[in-house]
Amino acid sequence: MDFSLADEQRMVQEMARDFAEKEIAPYVEEDEENHYYRREILTKMGELGLLGWSIPEEYGGNGMGWLEAVTALYEISKVHTSWRLSVSGNCWGPALTINEWGTEEQKQKYIPGLVSGKHVGSFAMTEADTGSDVAGMKTFAEDKGDHFLVNGSKMWISGGHTCDVGLLYVVTEKGAGAKGLSCLIVDYNHTPGVTRIPILKKVGMWPAPTSELVFENAVIPKENLLGPVNKGFPICMWMLNNTRMGCAIGAAALSAACLEGAVQYAQERTQFGRQIGQYQMIQQQIAEMKLEDEAAKYLVYHAAWLKEKKLPSQQATSLAKLFSCNAAVHAANVAMKLYGSYGYSTEYPCGRWLRDAKQFETLEGTSNIHMQIIAKIELGYQPNR
């Protein structure tokens, strides 16, 4: 496998880097301080085709696949990892899943708005008592003939109170576990009975909106059922195998940002008349960060290559997500120590790096869940999809 960039991929990389530096970087600290989500950035991402990866051009896709997506999203996430959520929330969550499982009418109705950035997307699985145990969710959709009547709640939903369109995973047959779940497409701007509550008390990812969703006799038309009834669990697992790539890319890019910052600071800071980078212990820390950063990047590209070839990629995706997560947390921790007292100051990005890195340990499958996936596939207890 040769992961060197072709000319077109290099152009994508440069375009994404230029976008991140001009449209995201100037507002990072301001938006962090104010916990502010700039919807106009997502709109601009859509206009540049940064939300249309692996989506057919007939529905507004950009004609490019997973490898180009990794190249672009990596550059965006290095500047501010909060914005990698837009690709998962719009493209690899609802748009790609609707493209795989939806009717032609659903594809034409929902995908173009998501990939153009006209609409903000989301997907909702997690509940207050069900995180890793997706099949244990309680939100119930009662079949009323021409519509579903939905009651229940979802927690920790990225983009939940800012989105226009989202996928909602619900119970449609009580007591059936994973065999009783279904997926619904929700038009949040035209669905009475939905209360969306921002979750403001978070450790990190402050400019990325997170929400609680409450459904009280919410009416979802029957034509908004995605795929067959009671087949929501395999749809959800298929979707997660895609959206988890966004986590892996974001974590790998955050690791790279920490490394770049640490190297720059080690060359600028002097102690006892020498750059601190000249001291052996600092060099060891930099070497460890570089080792993990390179490994994370190659694991991400390998998983993307498998997806591009339509080969089984579940284990590779979990490997990339788990290792990149660990690399990001370690790199952020080392960077904060290397910066010394300045690392603890909000004048430098170390605090943001560490806060944002920690969320990767729970997002879209905890580290324990990904260890289980990797081990069970390796042991032959479950297939590598």
Closest of 132, 194, 130 to residue 160, by C-alpha = 194
Tokens of 69: 């997506």
Number of C-beta neighbours around residue 279 at 10 A: 14
Query: How far is residue 333 from each of residues 147, 226, 323, 330, measured CA to CA in Å?
Result: 50, 42, 15, 5
Determine the Cα–Cα distance for residues 38 and 24; give it in Å rounded to an integer: 9
CB contact at 8 A, 238 and 313: no
Q: Which of 14, 33, 364, 378 is catalytic?
A: 364
Q: Phi, psi at residue 152, to the nearest 5°?
A: 145, -165
The torsion angle over the Cα atoms of residues 42, 238, 228 and 225, rounded to 10 degrees, is -20
104 is catalytic: no
Tell how far CA 82 is from the center of its chain. 9
What residues have CB less than 8 Å from 194, skipping those under 6 apart? Answer: 186, 188, 213, 214, 215, 216, 218
| Beta strand segments in the chain, E | 121-124, 140-143, 147-158, 165-171, 181-187, 194-198, 210-221, 225-226, 270-271, 274-275
Tell how far CA 67 is from the center of its chain. 16
Known catalytic residues are: 364
